């Protein structure tokens, strides 16, 4: 049932209830009023009748003196106004005895009037009661008529009793007519009320209908047309709120659509990356059961996605199980793992060298749900690396060979020239011999520098304190420095500065750098030497105040045979850099022409466990190593 009809029905029901109540109350009030009026009238008639009767009974009056009725005009007027039809008036004369004895019939006492409609025994009872209390009224039905009987007692005069019967049917008929009129009027009013309330309901509902239509639109996802708000009442406010709501929904909907679109394209992106990357990607749960693999995984390992998903595959060879377990534990402990170079097994049982990066996938609460691994086939990379290394080696060898050939041919040409001269002259010239010897020394120097590079690297790394190694080198070079007016200023850290190193090679580095510094200061001066311990590094700084290195030469430092000195080999820095590299360290040279040069060497500090392992043997070996070191230094300083 629509709201409109419901509202109308509600209106009508209220109206009917109200009208019914009105009719009932009216009817009742009218009856009561008319009854009261009728009673009043009867009372006054009775009083006059009794009065007349009493006078009639007086001895001085003749019996012919008629009983005077009340003023007929007045009576008629009042009776007309009440629609009252007086049927009988009877005046009784009652003695005490008449009243008490049942044998005394009412008829016997009738003094005057008519008494046709007797109602026994109530009549006598009413009269007796009226004698006591003044008056008694009784309504009775008689021949289909409503009759009001009034009994009045006048104990003072006679005693007399008056009984009046009046037909009330007309009066009640009038009341009924009035009621019927009212009901008819009510029906008309009801009809009008229905029409009006229907109209009101329609008017009230119309804006609601618009709002409903709008809500329907919003429900089906259309937000563009706002409701026209042209009233300030509740419906107007409702329309306003709904407009605001639709606008908000529109904004949120647009945002949502955008986010959804972004999400979708992001997902597609990721999917396409996962599916098209050449790296094998697989996701497994915490129990190692595969959840997803990409095409590259299928290609690398040989298992198809259908075979792999939902199973645990033996891709980790037995020899690597421990390593894998440790990695998992580290991940579960919340660590991030760097890429691991390891070995994996394919479906056909062959092993491949791979680089694996594994990361944990966590849920919203940070609990690890799965592991994602990216596996890269390193077989080709390894091969490439090896090729590169070899070609680099060949390149270096070629470069060196050319340089060596050039460097050695010059002194050899000199030697050959002098020897030829001697062959021709057959004389041994002392000056020529000196030159020949110095040329041979030069050849020896170049060759001995090369030996460090060429020597098969049967190196033995030990944990040593850099301060001691550098101290040895300084005391070795001290006399030479003294000759050149050079002073070494040392500032060594008070803490041990231990590194894992090959002592003789490190000495070679310090000798090369310090010799360069000495050679850069022909007029003498200070060389500052510093050793500092940093948390993971030992930093060695050697600073001179010499001639410096020109800017265009700095990038070339480290290439073989790059020298600015007449007798230089241009090998010292190259060799030093190689040695520092083999110690996992770095060597930096900064310089300003005319101001000086600073060489900074960083070496990784020895880890505690390395130190512990070495410390026992260290003391015992120290003496022997020192001797070796001195031997090398003498060779290097020649």
Give me the least distance between CB of 598 and ligand ADP, in Å please. Answer: 9
For the chain, how long is the longest CA-to-CA vector? Answer: 222
Which CB, 218 or 553, lies closer to ligand ADP? 553
Give me the least distance between CB of 637 and Mg ion, in Å please. Answer: 11
Question: If you count them, how many residues does the chain have?
Answer: 638
Residue 467 makes CB contacts below 8 A (sequence gap 6+) with: 492, 493, 496, 497, 531
CA distance 176 to 90: 30
Which CB, 89 or 599, lies closer to ligand ADP? 599
Contact pattern for Mg ion over residues 494 through 523, marking x by CB under 5 A: ----------------------x-------
CA distance 311 to 290: 6
Give me the least distance between CB of 570 and ligand ADP, in Å please. Answer: 4
Among 109, 207, 403, 572, binds ligand ADP (CB under 6 A): 572
Among 597, 603, 629, 636, binds ligand ADP (CB under 6 A): 597
Among 560, 572, 629, 636, binds Mg ion (CB under 5 A): 572
Considering only CA atoms, which of 532, 550, 541, 533 is closest in space to residue 599? 541
Interacting partner of 569 out of ligand ADP, Mg ion, none (Cβ under 5 to 8 A depending on kind): ligand ADP
Q: Does 547 bind ligand ADP (CB under 6 A)?
A: yes
Give me the least distance between CB of 440 and Mg ion, in Å please. Answer: 20
Q: Does 563 bind ligand ADP (CB under 6 A)?
A: yes
Report helix, strand or coil for 557. Answer: strand
Give me the least distance between CB of 572 and ligand ADP, in Å please. Answer: 3
- Cβ proximity of 560 and 400 under 8 Å: yes
Interacting partner of 382 out of ligand ADP, Mg ion, none (Cβ under 5 to 8 A depending on kind): none
Which CB, 144 or 555, lies closer to ligand ADP? 555
- How is 496-511 classified by DSSP, letter by letter? --EEEE-HHHHHHHHH
Which CB, 499 or 549, lies closer to ligand ADP? 549
Among 45, 549, 580, 605, binds ligand ADP (CB under 6 A): 549
C-alpha dist (Å) from residue 13 to 17, 193, 203, 213: 6, 10, 20, 30
Give me the least distance between CB of 555 and Mg ion, in Å please. Answer: 18
Residue 298 makes CB contacts below 8 A (sequence gap 6+) with: 304, 305, 308
Among 164, 517, 531, 579, binds ligand ADP (CB under 6 A): 517
Interacting partner of 520 out of ligand ADP, Mg ion, none (Cβ under 5 to 8 A depending on kind): ligand ADP
Can the peptide bond before residue 153 be classed as cis, meaning omega within 30 degrees of 0? Answer: no
C-alpha dist (Å) from residue 557 to 563, 572, 632: 9, 10, 23
Interacting partner of 504 out of Mg ion, ligand ADP, none (Cβ under 5 to 8 A depending on kind): none
Q: Does 562 bind ligand ADP (CB under 6 A)?
A: yes
Considering only CA atoms, which of 47, 48, 67 is closest in space to residue 57? 67
Report helix, strand or coil for 203. Answer: helix
Site residues for ligand ADP, window 454-513 (CB under 6 A)?
Answer: 512
- What residue ranges bind Mg ion (CB under 5 A)? 516, 572
């Amino acid at each position: 049932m629509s709201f409109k009809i419901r509202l109308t029905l509600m209106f009508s029901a209220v109206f009917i209830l109200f009208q019914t109540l009105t009719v009932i109350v009216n009817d009742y009030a009218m009856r009561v009023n008319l009854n009261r009026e009728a009673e009043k009238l009867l009372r006054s008639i009775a009083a006059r009748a009794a009065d007349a009767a009493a006078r009639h009974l007086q001895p001085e009056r003749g019996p012919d003196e008629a009983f005077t009725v009340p003023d007929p005009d007045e009576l008629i007027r009042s009776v007309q106004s009440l629609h009252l039809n007086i049927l009988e008036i009877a005046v009784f004369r009652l003695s005490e005895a008449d009243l008490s004895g049942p044998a005394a019939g009412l008829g016997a006492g009738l003094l005057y009037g008519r008494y046709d409609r007797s109602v026994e025994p109530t009549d006598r009872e009413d009269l007796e009661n009226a004698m006591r209390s003044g008056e008694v009224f009784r309504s009775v039905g008689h021949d289909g008529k409503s009759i009001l009987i009034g009994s009045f007692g006048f104990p003072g005069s006679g005693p007399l009793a008056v009984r009046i019967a009046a037909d009330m049917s007309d009066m009640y008929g009038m009341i009924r007519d009035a009621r019927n009129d009212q009901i008819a009027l009510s029906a008309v009013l009801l009809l009008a009320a229905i029409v009006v309330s229907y109209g009101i309901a329609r008017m009230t509902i119309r804006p609601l209908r618009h709002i409903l239509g709008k809500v329907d639109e919003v429900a089906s996802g259309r937000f563009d047309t706002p409701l026209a708000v042209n009233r300030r009442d509740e419906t107007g406010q409702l329309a306003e709120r709904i407009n605001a709501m639709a606008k908000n929904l529109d904004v949120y909907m647009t945002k949502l659509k955008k986010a959804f679109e972004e999400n979708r394209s992001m997902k597609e992106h990721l999917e396409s990356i996962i599916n098209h990357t050449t790296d094998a990607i697989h996701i497994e749960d915490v129990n190692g059961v595969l959840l997803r693999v990409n095409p590259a995984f299928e290609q690398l390992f040989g298992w198809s996605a259908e075979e792999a998903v939902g199973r645990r595959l033996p891709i980790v060879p037995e020899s690597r199980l421990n390593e894998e377990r440790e990695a998992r534990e580290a991940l579960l402990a919340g660590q991030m793992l760097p890429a691991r170079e390891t070995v994996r097994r394919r479906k056909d049982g062959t092993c491949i060298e791979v680089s694996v990066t594994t990361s944990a996938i966590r849920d919203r609460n940070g609990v690890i749900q799965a592991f994602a691994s990216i596996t890269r086939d390193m077989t080709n990379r390894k091969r490439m690396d090896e090729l590169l290394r070899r070609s680099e080696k060949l390149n270096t060898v070629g470069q060196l060979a050319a340089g060596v050939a050039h460097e050695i041919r010059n002194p050899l040409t000199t030697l050959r020239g002098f020897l030829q001269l001697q062959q021709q002259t057959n004389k041994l010239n002392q000056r020529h011999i000196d030159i020949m010897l110095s040329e041979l020394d030069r050849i020896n120097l170049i060759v001995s520098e090369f030996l460090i590079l060429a020597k098969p690297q049967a190196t033995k790394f030990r944990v040593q304190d850099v301060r001691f190694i550098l101290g040895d080198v300084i005391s070795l070079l001290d006399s030479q420095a003294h000759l050149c007016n050079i002073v070494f200023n040392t500032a060594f850290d008070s803490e041990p500065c231990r590194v894992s190193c090959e002592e003789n090679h490190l000495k070679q580095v310090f000798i090369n750098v310090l010799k360069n510094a000495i050679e850069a200061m022909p007029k003498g001066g200070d060389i500052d030497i510093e050793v500092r311990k940093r948390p993971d590094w030992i930093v060695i700084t050697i600073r001179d105040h010499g001639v410096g290195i020109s800017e265009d030469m700095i990038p070339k430092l480290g290439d073989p045979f790059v020298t600015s000195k007449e007798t230089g080999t241009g090998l010292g820095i190259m060799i030093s850099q190689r040695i520092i590299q083999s110690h996992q360290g770095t060597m930096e040279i900064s310089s300003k022409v005319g101001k000086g040069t600073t060489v900074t060497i960083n070496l990784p500090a020895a880890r505690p466990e390395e130190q512990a392992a070495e410390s026992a043997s260290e003391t015992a070996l120290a003496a022997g190593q020192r001797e070796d070191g001195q031997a090398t230094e003498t060779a290097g300083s020649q």
